[in-house]
């Protein structure tokens, strides 16, 4: 018999509401740390738990944290709501993890946010996907996320590229509409500017009507987040060589760069230092970890190394036993950590919402490859 998503969440929250002071990893055995990742299903990030494990292996080889080894337990939710809620329950109640570090699930935050709050456990995702990853008291990802990235992309278009007519042609994923509107408002509040065109109905079909409409409106810069090949082939056919197209981090792949026709100005905003250049600040540490362990170089693996590094640094500052309670207290009261792979310092803090990482670096397609642009991180309102 099928259960609705709402009922699954309600059951999970009820089951865990009374276990807010539940167990932890003890005080002398391994420090158990959990994560919920997409290994199978539609949103796959297999490199993320591998990179977190690699950092923890490094720490354990050096003696652990106060003599205790880190034990990493990852669950694959396959983007399945029931599996995700069951994974959270298992990690918290059965495995007694002290925190979740390096999660990369498309459904975890929305489904399990109440569970994490009820159990007073913190989650430091490697990849925050939906709005609830950034609006929950016990979750603070190490990436800007899609909405802060939109604000940075708009700011880059209007303030760095000096485009007066900025347009948006987007596909809206379920549950992300409010986040997009908030991102646009943040840009308007900072710059006093408004979009020339906002069309959130772009699908996978023929892009010609959208591009014709953009030409007629005089769009000078266009934010775009859907399928790359057909869109830019048609943009070239339409002769839109004087338009700056700006895509999100999801389009920042070698395969997409190869699909951009010559003479089209195509940019992408990144959440961490562009991973295609291992010499950038912070990337040296990441590339050393992933290369030594034969892990795929991706932006997601950057988030994994950063989440694990931040967690280890906070744990090293804890005086006394390392338990779920002491770890949560440490993150709620931590000082900001400067991490050169991102645009702003990382801090968890005591608030009810957390989106500490802001800004983006931009890359541009040149001869079928991404070229890192020289401006450094663009943080809206700060440069």
Are 44 and 65 in a shared domain?
A: yes
Secondary element (H or E) of residue 100: strand 99-101
Neighbours of 13 (CB within 10 A): 17
pLDDT, position 103? 98
Q: What is the largest CA-CA distance in the chain?
A: 68
Residue 186, domain member (yes or no): yes
Are 154 and 223 in a shared domain?
A: yes
Return d(Cα 57, Cα 124) in angstroms, integer.
18
pLDDT, position 8? 37
**Structural domain of 70:** 31-143+279-333
306 within 8 A of 339, measured Cβ to Cβ: yes
Return d(Cα 6, Cα 217) in angstroms, integer.
43
DSSP 46-65: THHHHHHHHHHHHHHHTT-B
346 within 8 A of 336, measured Cβ to Cβ: yes
Residue 209, domain member (yes or no): yes
pTM: 0.88
Question: ∠254-159-281 over CA atoms, to 5°?
Answer: 50
Between strands 166-169 and 221-224, the pairing is parallel
53 within 8 A of 304, measured Cβ to Cβ: no
Are 65 and 121 in a shared domain?
A: yes
pLDDT digits (tens, 9 = 90+) for 188-199: 999 999 999 999
Return d(Cα 329, Cα 232) in angstroms, integer.
49
pLDDT, position 18? 36
pLDDT, position 23? 44
In the three-class reduction of DSSP (H, G, I as helix; E, B as strand; rest coil), residue 224 is classed as strand
List the beta bridge partners of residue 247.
224, 268
102 within 8 A of 308, measured Cβ to Cβ: yes
In the three-class reduction of DSSP (H, G, I as helix; E, B as strand; rest coil), residue 223 is classed as strand
CATH code, 133:
3.40.50.2300
Secondary element (H or E) of residue 32: strand 31-37
DSSP 357: -
Identify which of 30, 95, 96 has the alpha carbon closest to the alpha carbon of residue 65: 30
Residue 350, domain member (yes or no): no
pLDDT, position 163? 98
pLDDT digits (tens, 9 = 90+) for 135-187: 999 999 999 999 999 999 999 999 999 999 999 999 987 667 788 999 999 99
pLDDT, position 27? 66
DSSP 127: S
Query: What totals of helices (H) and strands (E) does the chain contain, helices first?
Result: 12, 11
Are 97 and 192 in a shared domain?
A: no
List the beta bridge partners of residue 372.
363
Residue 81, domain member (yes or no): yes
Residue 8, domain member (yes or no): no
Are 184 and 135 in a shared domain?
A: no
pLDDT, position 42? 82
pLDDT, position 204? 80
Number of domains the chain is built from: 2
Are 221 and 302 in a shared domain?
A: no
DSSP 147-165: HHHHHHHHHIIIIIS--SS
Are 248 and 117 in a shared domain?
A: no
Return d(Cα 50, Cα 227) in angstroms, integer.
29
Return d(Cα 335, Cα 13) in angstroms, integer.
31
Return d(Cα 269, Cα 1) in angstroms, integer.
44
Residue 378 dihedral angles phi and psi, to the nearest 5°: -95, 110
pLDDT, position 175? 66
Residue 117, domain member (yes or no): yes
Low-confidence ranges of the chain (pLDDT < 50): 1-25
Are 168 and 133 in a shared domain?
A: no
Neighbours of 254 (CB within 10 A): 10
Are 367 and 225 in a shared domain?
A: yes
Residue 44, domain member (yes or no): yes
Are 221 and 162 in a shared domain?
A: yes
Question: ∠336-341-347 over CA atoms, to 5°?
Answer: 20
Return d(Cα 71, Cα 86) in angstroms, integer.
20
Are 131 and 181 in a shared domain?
A: no
Residue 3, domain member (yes or no): no
99 within 8 A of 123, measured Cβ to Cβ: yes
User: 67: alpha, beta or left, given left = phi > 0 and alpha = psi -120 to 50?
Assistant: left
DSSP 335: P
pLDDT, position 5? 36
pLDDT, position 122? 98
Are 136 and 184 in a shared domain?
A: no
């Amino acid at each position: 018999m099928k259960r609705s998503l709402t009922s699954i969440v309600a059951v999970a929250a009820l089951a865990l509401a009374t276990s807010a002071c539940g167990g932890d990893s003890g005080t002398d055995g391994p420090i158990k740390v959990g994560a919920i990742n997409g290994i199978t299903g539609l949103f796959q990030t297999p490199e993320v738990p591998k990179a977190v494990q690699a950092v923890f292996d490094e720490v354990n080889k050096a003696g652990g944290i106060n003599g205790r080894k880190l034990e990493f337990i990852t669950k694959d939710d396959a983007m399945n709501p029931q599996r995700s809620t069951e994974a959270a329950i298992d990690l918290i109640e059965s495995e007694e993890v002290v925190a979740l570090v390096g999660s990369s699930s498309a459904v975890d935050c929305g489904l399990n946010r109440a569970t994490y709050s009820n159990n007073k456990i913190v989650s430091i995702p490697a990849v925050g996907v939906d709005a609830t990853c950034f609006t929950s008291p016990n979750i603070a990802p190490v990436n800007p996320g899609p909405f802060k990235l939109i604000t940075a992309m708009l700011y880059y278009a209007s303030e760095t590229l000096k485009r007066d007519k900025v347009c948006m042609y987007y596909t809206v994923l379920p549950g992300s509409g409010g986040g997009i509107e908030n991102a646009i408002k943040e840009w308007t509040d900072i710059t006093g500017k408004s979009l020339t065109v906002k069309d959130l109905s772009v699908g996978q079909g023929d892009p010609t009507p959208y591009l014709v409409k953009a030409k007629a409106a005089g769009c000078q810069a266009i934010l775009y987040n859907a399928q790359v090949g057909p869109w830019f082939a048609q943009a070239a056919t339409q002769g839109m060589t004087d338009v700056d197209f700006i895509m999100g981090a999801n389009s920042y792949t070698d395969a997409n760069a190869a699909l951009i026709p010559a003479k089209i100005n195509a940019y992408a905003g990144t959440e961490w230092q562009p991973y295609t250049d291992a010499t950038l600040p912070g990337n040296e540490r990441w590339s050393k970890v992933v290369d030594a362990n034969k892990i795929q170089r991706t932006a997601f693996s950057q988030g994994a190394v950063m989440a694990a590094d931040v967690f280890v640094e906070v744990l090293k500052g804890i005086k006394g036993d390392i338990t779920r309670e002491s770890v949560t207290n440490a993150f709620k009261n931590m000082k900001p950590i400067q991490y050169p792979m991102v645009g702003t310092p990382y801090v968890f803090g005591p608030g009810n919402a957390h989106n500490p990482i802001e800004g983006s670096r931009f890359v541009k397609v040149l001869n079928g490859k991404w070229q890192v642009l020289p401006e450094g991180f663009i943080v809206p309102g700060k440069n």
